[in-house]
Structure 1
Amino acid sequence: MKCLLLLLAAFHSDAFTLNRCVPRASTTSLYAADGPPQYDKFQATLSEAEKVGEGSFMLHIDTEDVVEYEPGHVLALEMEAPNADGDDVDSKTSEDAKQNGGWMRGPYTVSRSTDKSIDILVKVVGEKSKLFSIATPGTPLRFGGKFKLPIVEGIDTDTTKRVVLISTGVGVGPCVGAIEKAIEQESFPPIDLIASYRTEDEIVYKDHLEKLQKEHADKFSWKAIITSEQGRISSTADNLRVLTDTNFKSGLEDTHYHLIGNGQMVSEFKAGLQAAGVKDDKVTVEMYFNHKAEIDADAVSRIAAAAALEVAAVPQ
């Protein structure tokens, strides 16, 4: 059986910062016969699968053990397949469930966490995510592993005057958790969230974000891009004005960008920001899917031009 570390790496092709999650009890340490140890598995229970947007559900999970996760960490989440051999799900999930004692599993990004709870935002795109979304309170779950660098931890606050979070779809989940953490820190730089959705109905946590913006106007602002109406963020120069249309002033050298969601968006923005002169340590990324999508050179050029306007936005 493949080590799930390899499964996670396949879903998240950028290098992980790997840390061990070590709750205090109720663990089962599993080892691969032909490789390194697998992640320890910890017991949990679904508190609620809350619908927070069209097709998007926040899984509120109660853990049996004390955990230490932050928004942006990636973990492996497991739930029993409808029957022991996993035949009620798609072939890939079924095969993996058969090799995992009848438990479906996959890599998911933490949206927020307390010492005994974890929230994970999922989009219904297949049978496995559908089963998570319709699971009832009390459903047993298992989880383990701790991968990737948390969003807030990846930002150097000493050299950053503004943070721009750019997300597609459920990539907004970890961004919301990171925003909630950041506004509690007096010295954390202000944040602009640019969240992209296909339709208006898919917007996640709209009321919550509006409330945060109203209560913390000096620390946080957000905008939604509806691609079915406006096209992708990078599709026009007008759309890309959201990068510099802000009350929070900064320059090219002291703006940090976090890109999360569709791999094409992440790759194009990463390339465009690099072309504009943004330093590598000012760009952090996480791809959810579409890792191998071809980059649109015109989109990269538009992004570079828009980001370069950051310099003009700084008062002289």
Structure 2
Amino acid sequence: MGLGSVLLLLQLASSADAFSQGAIPTPLTDRSSSSLCAANEPPKYDKIEGTLREAEEVATGSVMLHIDTLESIDYRPGHVLALEIEMDETQRPLDKESKTYKDAQANGGWMRGPYTVSRCSERKLNVLIKVVGTKSRRFQSAEPGTKVKFGGRFHVPILDGIDVASTDRVVMISTGVGVGPCIGAIEMALEDSFRPPIDLIASYRSQDEVVCGDILDSMQQSHPSKFAWKSIITELDGRLSANEDNLRLVFESNFDASVERTHFHLIGNAALVGEMKAGLEEGGVPPSKISIESYFNHGAELNQESIRRISNAVASMKVAAAIE
């Protein structure tokens, strides 16, 4: 499978209805695989059976799926997997001409899509989803005990993409449910004394969409020298890249680090991810210090003024460091 397919996965991961819209690459797994469908269709991967313990609404439009399995599993926050649930046409019949319906028919009646792991233990899995389409609504309404299937292991986990030896600070920037994998990664990082401190800037459209704020507050209070977080509400404050005041959330920190020794992880809306990545690189942040995962909005044109504003903010951070 070529680089183009790999990039396609990274773009589609966690999109509620993305899986049936294109192929994704061979999974990074030691498991033997069983064929799912024919050539030019979604990939081969070994299916693991699980049970949905709870579909917990953690904010308006955001649901945390708590999944149990009898098998020992090895996922980390930021891994992408294929997650399946059986159609229930008694609730809301699908359009039989839709890609979702046709793909489910080819998969024995099971809808499937790529989703990003938020947390994982040996036999438990958490996945945070946004309720926006047919599959996500099915997960949201599923009763406890509903059978699910999952498999494959794609993408690089968040912490695995950070070079600890050359990093003094980590900045995670998320939009919407992109905060889910960040929370899991932060929890793991706080258990490792060798990990650098982390700033999380989480962007939401409205206050009622803020996910797991109590958990983040608790971690910040328990680890003030290792973790800090801030939220931005776009309907009140505008997008993160909209003005210099918003960007101060990214570049002002209690954790001391140069630009060159700061790692940026960008996850969520492709427009913001693309603008931040372009602006950071234009401002002189090494590409090796930027990791990304885009969920949706890939066709959006990047705002050149926002890119310039981000680049200038990086330059200001460098100047401030030089003066100090």
Question: Given the two structures, how large is their TM-score scaled by the length of structure 1?
Answer: 0.91
Partner of 1:247: 254
**1:139: how far off?**
0.3
SS of residue paired to 1:95? helix
Residues 250, 17 of structure 1: alpha-carbon distance in 2 compared, 3 angstrom cutoff: farther
Which range moves more in the overlay, 243-252 or 223-232? 243-252
Residues 21, 146 of structure 1: 8 Å contact kept? no
Which of the numbers 268, 274, 299 marks the counterpart of 1:267? Answer: 274
Partner of 1:78: 84
Structure 2, gaps ≥5 residues long: 14-21
SS of residue paired to 1:298? helix
Partner of 1:59: 65
Q: Distance in 1 between matches of 2:87 and 2:118?
A: 24
Residues 162, 248 of structure 1: 8 Å contact kept? yes
Residues 92, 113 of structure 1: alpha-carbon distance in 2 compared, 3 angstrom cutoff: same
Partner of 1:278: 285
Partner of 2:299: 292
Residues 89, 168 of structure 1: alpha-carbon distance in 2 compared, 3 angstrom cutoff: farther
Q: Distance in 2 between matches of 1:28 and 1:279?
A: 37
Residues 9, 241 of structure 1: alpha-carbon distance in 2 compared, 3 angstrom cutoff: closer
Which range moves more in the overlay, 179-188 or 28-37? 28-37
**Number of matched pairs:** 306
Partner of 1:20: 29
Residues 11, 298 of structure 2: 8 Å contact kept? no
Q: What is the identity, as a one-letter code, of the residue corresponding to 1:11? A: L
Superposition map of 1:104-183 within 5 A: 104-183=111-190
Which range moves more in the overlay, 88-97 or 225-234? 88-97
Structure 1, gaps ≥5 residues long: none
Question: Given the two structures, how large is their TM-score scaled by the length of structure 2?
Answer: 0.89
Which range moves more in the overlay, 154-163 or 123-132? 123-132
SS of residue paired to 2:241? helix
**1:123: how far off?**
0.6
Which of the numbers 29, 50, 64 marks the counterpart of 1:44? Answer: 50
Residues 252, 308 of structure 1: 8 Å contact kept? no
Q: Distance in 1 between matches of 2:9 and 2:134?
A: 19
**1:311: how far off?**
1.9
Q: Distance in 2 between matches of 1:103 and 1:222?
A: 38
Residues 48, 61 of structure 1: 8 Å contact kept? yes
Partner of 1:210: 217
Deviations 1:183-225 (A, max 9, x none): 1010100000000000001000011100000000000000000
Residues 45, 152 of structure 2: 8 Å contact kept? yes
Q: Distance in 1 between matches of 2:269 and 2:298?
A: 8
Q: What is the identity, as a one-letter code, of the residue corresponding to 2:28? A: N
Residues 17, 148 of structure 1: 8 Å contact kept? no
Q: What is the identity, as a one-letter code, of the residue corresponding to 1:77? A: L
SS of residue paired to 2:81? strand
Residues 249, 313 of structure 1: 8 Å contact kept? no
Partner of 2:39: 34
Q: What is the identity, as a one-letter code, of the residue corresponding to 1:135? A: A
More strand, by proportion: 1
Q: What is the identity, as a one-letter code, of the residue corresponding to 2:104? A: A
**1:31: how far off?**
5.1
Q: What is the identity, as a one-letter code, of the residue corresponding to 2:134? A: E
